[in-house]
Structure 1
Amino acid sequence: MVSIIQKSTRRKQRIAARAFALSFAAFAATSVSYAMFPTAAQAQSYRFSNVTIEGAQRVSADTILSYAGIARGQSVSAAELNDAYQKVLASGLFETVEFIPSGSTLVIKVSEYPVVSRISIEGNRKISDDALMPMLSTQVRRVYSPANAEADAAALTQAYEVKGQLVATVTPKIIRRNDNRVDVVFEVTEGKGVEIERLSFVGNREFSDSRLRRVLETKQAGIFRFIIGKDTYAEDRIEFDKRVLMDFYTSRGYVDFQVLNVAAEFSRERNAYFLTFNVREGQKYEFGTISTVSGLDEADAEEFQKVVNIRSGQTYSPLAVDNVIARMETLATKKGIDFLRVEPRVTRNDRAQTLDIEFALVRGPRVFVERIDIEGNATTLDRVVRHQFKVVEGDPFNPREIREAADRIRALGFFSNADVNTREGSSGEQVVVDVNVTEKPTGSFTFGANFSVSDGANLVASFSEANFLGRGQSLSFNLTTKLDDGNLSFNFFEPAFLGRDVGFGFGAGISSSQPGYADHDVRRAYLSPRLSFPISQNGVLTLNYRGEWSEVREVDSNYADLPSQIQADIDAGGLVTHSLGYSYSYDTRRTGLNPNAGLLFKFGQDYAGVIGGDVDFTRTSAELTGEMKVLNEEVTLRATVEGGIIESDDGTRVSNRYFNSPSIIRGFETGGIGPRSTTNDLALGGNYYAVARLEADFPLGLPEEYGLTGGVFFDYGSVWGLDDTTAIIAGSDDPNWRSVIGASIFWTTPLGPLRFNFTKALDKEDYDKEQSFDLTISTSF
């Protein structure tokens, strides 16, 4: 293996030049006479009647002569002959070049660069060949160039620097083959990545270092440094973090926030970085007077003022202003007012620390969208990207809508990079929107295990694809199994059904589960299509159908006598259920105007038996959750009220009733509360459940890189109600309210989130089954 570093090539060129000079000297000694007197020497010139090319195989003689610029019979000076030599050498086609004057004949000897037969990258473990190969300008079946190889080595090194591997080196080498061919090998020495040992802030008064670290993409090196890739220094990631910090502060009213600089210092051992963000927070501002003025006759300011949903005294947020602009422009579209633009005019009151906003309705320029060009989507279909735009070719151009479409494209999760820019079209009244994306993998396969105290251990295998066949559709298969039960499910979702803003989903699966205790199991096979309609900015309505076959079977022969409520369901055998239902959800936790508070409301009903089947019931469920962050966003408070009712004229089945689980009331086993039979002390499930949960999550004061946080909670609720009360524990079907207090430890690991719950029941019944500790583990390997 021969090194091909640039200095080796330059050495060959100097040798060739020296040989060329000696040839000229010898030629001059035999053909040039000097005057005996000290007069000026005349300039030497040559005239060649013949030019001979030696060593050329792929490059024609005419091509070499065209580079040299020497014609037969032309008078050439020594300086011009040297320039001709330099031109042929600079063509980059030859490894060595020699000009040898021999009388009236000029012999040009060349040695061509070899042809690349194979390219390989060796020693790379942290970046795959598929990611590195597109960066190379050296190509198979093309002439090898040392300059290109050196440039390729620099590009590969830069790729490692972006990943934080600052000590990585790349050395290009060649292996010579016969027929003037070479294999090009880029030898990579990755070394150890330079980690960020400490990530700190200077100038932050309102928010702690730990709170700001959670905002950043860059992380400190912690106990999982061998897995986490975001704890290495990367310049591009730092620039992204600056923008994230700016968005974080401005959305909370700090309009003067600045990142003054980011200091990156090497440790004494030069194996780690100390990263410090120097920030200036400024003062917090609130909304002052909110008003609307109109400069258009067809736009009534009072009518547009009615859609303003921000009020004086609220914390200032650019997101809230953009939301009002969007609402006003939507109203203008409904009223048929084209080219209306909303200009937010801000008046600053530093003494009161308020910002008065005047929304001015003005006529925008008459500019139309000529076309939308999409590039870089090798897999994703154009229509998936185009669906993120609310405008089409020929519509009035709206800069805000283009920015929002860019955000929606990035939110798809299909692309590692997505740039959306505009340029002038075929005329001054036309705009072309350019979308440049870079695809990234969107599929995953997992094989592993999970464990919880209540459910035991399970083997898990799953496959998911978020961009199936480049159509923007999600597809997943999930298998969970253990010795006595398990399930297999399939789910498909199309977010733009028939090209509309309607989602279509389809689910199917089979399962075997044991509600309560191991005296029986419920086996199911089902399919369930659904349609989802966005009916407001935060609200979604879903219509669904579910067809299900279910059967209750006895699995434990030790129970000589089963409760009548279970035996009746076993005797009924397999039954078919057809149900129609709807659900409505309203969620402001991510899209609300207040970044520190959010609301989730869910309500749904399912009707079985209205279109046939063996089972009839009506199931109603509701949930209301409020969440807010306090104490400078260090503590998250959460309150939930949830409940469900199932009713049937023929009596409910054990397969449809509610059984308590940790997702309802913590501190009790699955089926640990609610109606219970005197026969073998078995859980029967209830027709009703209701629960109120209060929670608080907070940091534990440990280094943020450990991923450990804490929490406390209080649950108050019950499971009750039974149609057949034969041989049940007295009062077990009554709404006996239980209360539980508990503490949690959350551990965020690269392998999955872990939660440790420690509970104590304050109010309970004698027949309840407590569970004072619960651990949930999710692991993939």
Structure 2
Amino acid sequence: MINTKASGEKRCAPRARKVNALRSGIATIALGFSVAYIALPSVAEAQQFRFNSVTIEGNQRIEPSTILSYAGIARGQSVSGSDLNGAFQRLQESGLFESVDIEPQGSRLVIKVTEYPTINRINFEGNRRLKDDDLATVVQSQARRVFNPTTAERDAAEIATAYSQQGRLTATVSPRIIRRSDNRVDLVFEIFEGGLTEIERLGFVGNQVYSDHRLRRVLDTKQAGLLRAFVKRDTFAEDRIEFDKQVLRDFYLSRGYVDFRTTSVNAELARERDGFFVTFNVQEGQQFKFGEITTVSEIADADEAEFQAALKIRPGVVYSPSLVENSIARLERLAIKLGLDFVRVEPRVTRNDRDLTLDVEFALVRGPRIFVERIDIEGNATTLDRVVRNQFRIVEGDPFNPREIRESAERVRALGFFGQADVEAREGSAPDQVVIDVDVEETTTGSLSFGGTYSSATGPGALIKYNESNFLGRGQQLGLSVTTGVDNREYSLTFGEPAFLGRDLRFGFVLNYIETDNLNATYDTNLGKFRPSFNFPVSENGRMEVRYTLDLTEMTDLGADAGALITNEVARGIEYSNSIGYSYSFDTRRTGLNPNAGVLLEFGQDFGVLDQSNRFVKTTAKAIAQTKVLGEEVTLRATLEGGAINFLSGSGRSTERFFMGSSVMRGFEPSGIGPREATGNVNDALGGNMFAVARFEAEFPLGLPEEYGISGGVFYDIGSLWSLDQTNANVINEGFAARQVIGASLFWKTPIGPLRFNFTKALSKEVGDREQTFDLTISTSF
């Protein structure tokens, strides 16, 4: 028998399980939605505040209104929590408060502040290399101002930077405060100066034409050496390195290397952090020369041929941007001279890589019609405006020329009266008007020095000297000096006005008086001179001087063994001579086509025609040529010098004739050669009416580090001093007899000046000549 109930239950079981599963799924989904709903953030409204009153606590110096203005919250204003946070940030960032706290208390807002203290004074501790006054100009914090920690930290960094510029990269500065009463503090900068970080080695990579030694002489930065206590440029300074990169480029450009560039500068700090190894990586490129030089004109009134003839550049000359600039200036000046205004010269350069030449076409174009409205000068408290204006070749109302303004700015800086001089052009009252602003900062122009002197002729002595290059702010030079030695005394007064009557005309005078006591002679002398003169240009490289000279001569205290000629000269007592003269000089060192060569020519005459009893013509001439060879390492120099005195009436004295010192011919004592009067044990020098000297010398490096400033040289001199207008049987060496000298020189650039040590040997000399095998002088360049 089949049990129907059981079987029916079996049939209903799967359906029940499906229903239960469905119910469980629905419950699970509902539970999931419930959990998700609970996890969702609840939307809450931002809390709003409205304050009927605002209370400020803790302020002592700062007014409540100021604090409220920073907070930006007004009474009765509805504000949110973010507004309160913004008020807090503004108060905190004001730099006025050490701490800020904002507390809402019902309808009242309480702002609690703690003010920064006031700086009572600022001190520097630990500084020896930089003085307090120098550091005070660096920091921004000031006494009686609110102390700000951020400003103090910034000041500490600036002080450290100042020390790094002095080569002390390890210097550290820490600001400290000392609390005082009445919410005041003393701000103290504790300084650890550290040691000098010098440049131990300065090298170059990539240079082939010029040696490291030659390029190091170009740079302003120097290696550390024996003179490190005096040479401040042997410390590492990034600004100086950048300047040196430009100087290096200018050096190569002026020698035709137009593709030169400094690819990088590597500065490696030694492990001990006491020295740098600086290396310039350069690419020299090829040397270019001038190719075809032409002139074209886009102005109908400008004749191309006339401007072409004014050019001094010729094909084949080594290319130099300065020569192009000089040519542009020359053509623009010619245009002004011809009455052509607003003419501009544009150089158009064509490169020829095949033959390494640069063709330059000077195009005459019409520039914009702009006039100079006025020239404003500021910052000159002492120097008169006209001194600065004299450096400008233009005046109000003239056509504006940017190149002329740049050249004028250079002339203002070259005066030496200003530590800083900025010249800028800006638009004036109309678009066609320009105002030139000259902003200068004056510097010290006078000096008073006390010192000692030494001369191989006069021995040791003392010196008092006063120099002023901007006398009374007029741009005039004034010099006073008193020099005393064992056997001589000299008093001198010099004056110079470089712009007489506002023109390029220099007026000056020299007044000096010299006394000698038996200086290499059997007599004493008293010599006075007054010489006013005018000096002015006559060409681009030539200048002329015209002068009047009044000489006073006295020979006294004759020795017992003096000869007849000297006795007669001494017996003439005090004599005056008047003369007028001129000198012409031609100097190509500044504007010549070759930066490594130059020529100086000088010729002058003085005519003693104002006194019928003592009439004479005195002529002097000098020619100097110099060039550099072997990669500009060796300097070759040749000098020819001579003079002649022709007495038309009367006769000269020893004090009026030529004498040859070491500056004229080396190897002999002052007055060591020439005619002499020999009587017994006395051998007095008489001087000569004529002299001629040829000097040839070479200067070269010795292989020593260039920071020592030591180089060497060799020389050969040949010359003579001869001729007298009166003579007797006791006179020797009256005729022409060439003396020859060879020698070696040691040049040393010291803090007291460039010294020259000469070691000589006379190859030929005459009886009575006084040889000098060693001589110490101040080195000079022609």
What residue in structure 2 maps to residue 145 of structure 1?
A: 148
* Cα deviation, residue 208, structure 1: 0.9
What residue in structure 2 maps to residue 7 of structure 1?
A: none
What residue in structure 2 maps to residue 606 of structure 1?
A: 606
Q: Which of the numbers 289, 292, 295 marks the counterpart of 2:292? A: 289
What residue in structure 1 maps to residue 322 of structure 2?
A: 319
What residue in structure 2 maps to residue 35 of structure 1?
A: none
Which digits, 9 at most, give the CA deviation of each residue in 1:408-454, with x for residues without a partner?
23333334444444444444433344444444444444333333434
Residues 475 and 135 (structure 1), Cα distance of their counterparts in 2 relative to 1, 3 Å cut: farther
* Cα deviation, residue 765, structure 1: 0.5
Contact 1:617 1:647 in 2 (8 A): yes
* Cα deviation, residue 522, structure 1: 2.0
What residue in structure 1 maps to residue 632 of structure 2?
A: 633
What residue in structure 1 maps to residue 740 of structure 2?
A: 739
* Cα deviation, residue 136, structure 1: 3.1
What residue in structure 2 maps to residue 706 of structure 1?
A: 708
* Cα deviation, residue 145, structure 1: 2.5
Paired with 1:256 and 1:287, the residues of 2 have a C-alpha distance of 15
Paired with 1:606 and 1:406, the residues of 2 have a C-alpha distance of 38
Q: Which of the numbers 374, 396, 403 marks the counterpart of 2:406? A: 403
Contact 1:454 1:774 in 2 (8 A): no
What residue in structure 1 maps to residue 66 of structure 2?
A: 63
**One-letter amino acid of the counterpart of residue 342, structure 1:** V
**One-letter amino acid of the counterpart of residue 770, structure 1:** E
TM-score where L is the length of structure 1 = 0.88
Percent identity of equivalent pairs = 58
Contact 1:576 1:614 in 2 (8 A): no
Paired with 1:742 and 1:700, the residues of 2 have a C-alpha distance of 16
Residues 49 and 322 (structure 1), Cα distance of their counterparts in 2 relative to 1, 3 Å cut: closer
Residues 344 and 48 (structure 1), Cα distance of their counterparts in 2 relative to 1, 3 Å cut: closer
2:349 aligned with 1:330, yes or no? no
Alignment of 1:127-276 (within 5 A): 127-276=130-279
* Cα deviation, residue 547, structure 1: 3.4
Contact 1:116 1:139 in 2 (8 A): yes
Alignment of 1:667-686 (within 5 A): 667-679=667-679, 680-686=682-688
Paired with 1:550 and 1:123, the residues of 2 have a C-alpha distance of 62
* Cα deviation, residue 174, structure 1: 3.7
Aligned residues: CA RMSD: 2.7
**One-letter amino acid of the counterpart of residue 502, structure 2:** G
Gaps of at least 5 residues in structure 1 are 1-37
The SS at the match of 1:135 is: coil
Paired with 2:540 and 2:572, the residues of 1 have a C-alpha distance of 46
The SS at the match of 2:169 is: coil
Paired with 2:122 and 2:468, the residues of 1 have a C-alpha distance of 32
Paired with 2:385 and 2:175, the residues of 1 have a C-alpha distance of 39
Larger gyration radius, structure 1 or structure 2? 2
The SS at the match of 1:681 is: strand
Q: Structure 1: which 4+ aligned runs deviate by more than 6 Å?
A: 38-42
Paired with 2:79 and 2:364, the residues of 1 have a C-alpha distance of 77
**One-letter amino acid of the counterpart of residue 758, structure 1:** F
What residue in structure 2 maps to residue 13 of structure 1?
A: none
**One-letter amino acid of the counterpart of residue 652, structure 1:** G
**One-letter amino acid of the counterpart of residue 714, structure 2:** V
**One-letter amino acid of the counterpart of residue 509, structure 2:** F
Contact 2:458 2:519 in 1 (8 A): no
Residues 140 and 489 (structure 1), Cα distance of their counterparts in 2 relative to 1, 3 Å cut: farther
What residue in structure 1 maps to residue 596 of structure 2?
A: 596
- The answer to which structure, 1 or 2, has the higher relative contact order (CA under 8 A, 6+ apart) is 1
Contact 1:552 1:569 in 2 (8 A): yes
Contact 1:167 1:192 in 2 (8 A): yes
What residue in structure 2 maps to residue 722 of structure 1?
A: 724
What residue in structure 2 maps to residue 114 of structure 1?
A: 117
Residues 615 and 671 (structure 1), Cα distance of their counterparts in 2 relative to 1, 3 Å cut: same
Which digits, 9 at most, give the CA deviation of each residue in 1:274-293, with x for residues without a partner?
11111111111111222222
Paired with 1:424 and 1:174, the residues of 2 have a C-alpha distance of 50
Contact 1:491 1:508 in 2 (8 A): yes
* Cα deviation, residue 183, structure 1: 4.0
**One-letter amino acid of the counterpart of residue 662, structure 1:** S
* Cα deviation, residue 212, structure 1: 1.0
Paired with 1:175 and 1:378, the residues of 2 have a C-alpha distance of 41
The SS at the match of 2:396 is: coil
Paired with 1:387 and 1:218, the residues of 2 have a C-alpha distance of 35
Contact 1:516 1:684 in 2 (8 A): no
Paired with 1:451 and 1:624, the residues of 2 have a C-alpha distance of 29
* Cα deviation, residue 347, structure 1: 1.9
* Cα deviation, residue 504, structure 1: 2.1
The SS at the match of 2:684 is: coil
Contact 1:516 1:659 in 2 (8 A): no
What residue in structure 2 maps to residue 15 of structure 1?
A: none
Contact 1:255 1:285 in 2 (8 A): yes
Which digits, 9 at most, give the CA deviation of each residue in 1:629-667, with x for residues without a partner?
111211111111111222332211222222221011111
Alignment of 1:489-568 (within 5 A): 489-513=492-516, 517-554=520-557, 559-568=559-568
* Cα deviation, residue 752, structure 1: 1.8
TM-score where L is the length of structure 2 = 0.88
What residue in structure 2 maps to residue 664 of structure 1?
A: 664
* Cα deviation, residue 232, structure 1: 0.8
Residues 306 and 82 (structure 1), Cα distance of their counterparts in 2 relative to 1, 3 Å cut: closer
> Please, which moves more after superposition, 613-622 or 561-570?
613-622
Paired with 1:418 and 1:723, the residues of 2 have a C-alpha distance of 57
Paired with 1:461 and 1:614, the residues of 2 have a C-alpha distance of 39
Paired with 1:328 and 1:522, the residues of 2 have a C-alpha distance of 55
* Cα deviation, residue 147, structure 1: 2.3
Which digits, 9 at most, give the CA deviation of each residue in 1:191-211, with x for residues without a partner?
222111111111111111111
> Please, which moves more after superposition, 663-672 or 699-708?
699-708
